[in-house]
Structure 1
Amino acid sequence: MKLSTTIYFLLLILIGIKVQAQTTDEIWKLYSNKDLTNTIKSGQQVLQNDRNNPQVNSVVGRALVDLKKHKEAIPYLIKGAIENNNPAWARAWSFGYLGLCYYVTDNFIESKKNFNECINLNATKNSTQFAKKYVSTLQMNETFNSWETVEKENLRFHFQNKSNIKNLESYIKNREEAYLNINEFFGATPFKKIDFFVWDKPEEAKKYFGRKLGFANSKLCIINSRNNQTRGHEITHILSDYGIQPIKKTKLINEGVAVYFDQTNRDRIDVAKKILENKEIDIVDLWNNPNSYPSEYCYAIGGALIDFLIKNGNESQLKGLLKNQTTETAMEIYDDFNNLMKEFEQKLN
């Protein structure tokens, strides 16, 4: 009788394991089909009775990350990264996604640590490539190991060689103040601090990125800058993207607004006139066909145009133009658009 009871309970256990395996496979199938909401719902139901299940925690965490719920995903992914009864591929993906979560939640050190855990496991080609891609894109690889980091309220500075910056304290303070000054207009809330990489050797940056400094990556909130670059230009690009959320950009307006807010307080009209050297310019043609003109025209003349529109319009009109930066939109926003452009051209000529 005792033997029969033992066999009965063993069968129940085996059936339970089989059902659990089927359920886990079904949840992974939901995730593979990008049904993220049901992946999370089904996974959380399983976790009510088996809260430490590493594979289910891993897939729920990954689904939450894909829905941009990074902070919420962290506890699941930590449980998904444990070693006991957990295949290496599930652990690797958990570490990789944890790296992304910690980056988004401003824990740069833990982010780098978890990406490297994923790479070191080398469990699958895709998971390793995922982590390596982010380590490179987020500038966490060996190229930046010797760089020094200084973290402030809105910007996290990474210096290639801070000894070549004449007054480091002033340099940092000026850019933090620039962020606040510029954001009085944009009212932006980026998803994380801006990682501000300051290059002492621009030629090394060009070799690394395949392009000249400086530039901003709004999607990842990263700026790469020369150590002598204007303090507000690239910050403006990021704050504009998060505050305005443009649906259509044009080079004249996009670069112009960054020049206007670069915090140099230069006379924009005067700078544009010097660039033109007494040449006449058709603003609408430059606006619509920027590649037909020297690149510096969109910067200098764009900055002057933004300055002109602010003085001859209002904040609401400019924000509407920054939302959709085409000449067609400008004609709708500014009733006297053609006359405004003629007046602007006269100031330049």
Structure 2
Amino acid sequence: MMARINLHLYGLAVFAAVTLVYVFLSRPFSFTPRVADLTYGRLRDVRDDRFPRYAIATFLSESSSPGDSLAEDYYFTSARILAYQVLHDGRTKSNHTNIPFLVLVTDEVSDAKRERLQRDGAQVIHGEDIPLNRWTSTGATHWNNQFNKLRLLGMTQYDRILFLDADTILTRPIDGIFNEPQSQVAAPSLLVERPKQIRWDEGQPPAEYVFAARSDNGLTGQREHPFPPKETDEFSAAFWLAAPSVELYQYFLNVMTQYPRFDPKTMDQALLNYAFRRDGTMPWQELNYTWSASWPSTSDLNGGVASLHDRLWTMGPDSLKDRWWALKKKMEAVMT
């Protein structure tokens, strides 16, 4: 008797399921694709602005050797050298005196280091750690906070920010880069032209953006790269120029929640190259090679490249290492 009841109930369930499927399939089917908002994240036009808000910035986390003294922390010393060159050195300081030099620091950076940078003239900004998902954690805890650099992209008190890694030295003033067309003119995102590149689980990219960088010499021979260097599909995250916006910053936070859109082992380098990929909706723009060189060589120096990125206190040609140590000595003599 019980078996008959169960069989009857099973038959009713199957009938109901088939009926629902029939009703659903017999209804007119319509699908309205999501349409991008072309007003979302528009940027302020700076071309006719007499007082555009520019900033030059770097990033400082704790030393890779915790407990180092101020004198032995070479990334900290390099940040000081960069501050000195941007703000004080007559050969390299900005021509526009109203451009601040920002140092974004993590929780672990000591008060002594922050105070020293402030006495050097830098504006020290504390950035809370950006929360990481399990898949974005690299396992190397010292480097996980490199994602904090993204906070610069949300600092809308500035129209443009030029970012340089702390282990960078200058050969001439760098602020002229803000006059480049890649900085002055906001690019329209290719939301209509490349709708399939909009991944809605990441949210909509902003309708306008500014992001310019230099091809990564690490992909074309490293120290032996040709001069002038070859262009590549990927850029070096040690040097970039961007227009901050709330929408752009939120887009990055959204991307970081989606597994696995980029390789977390190379941290912000991979994330930035994913967001501004050549075939995406916000392809990065190439700056002239004379603005920056990763894996710098004597050819870059002799060719007038404005900024050279490497741990020059220990790596690179002797002429560049000697240059770094000479700058350290000069900076320490002046910034007492």
Q: Same fold (TM over 0.5)?
A: no
Task: Compute the TM-score of the two structures, normalised by the length of structure 1.
Answer: 0.21
> Which protein is richer in strand relative to its size?
2
Task: Compute the TM-score of the two structures, normalised by the length of structure 2.
Answer: 0.21
Rg (Cα) greater in structure: 1
Q: Which has the higher contact order (CA 8 A, sep 6+)?
A: 2
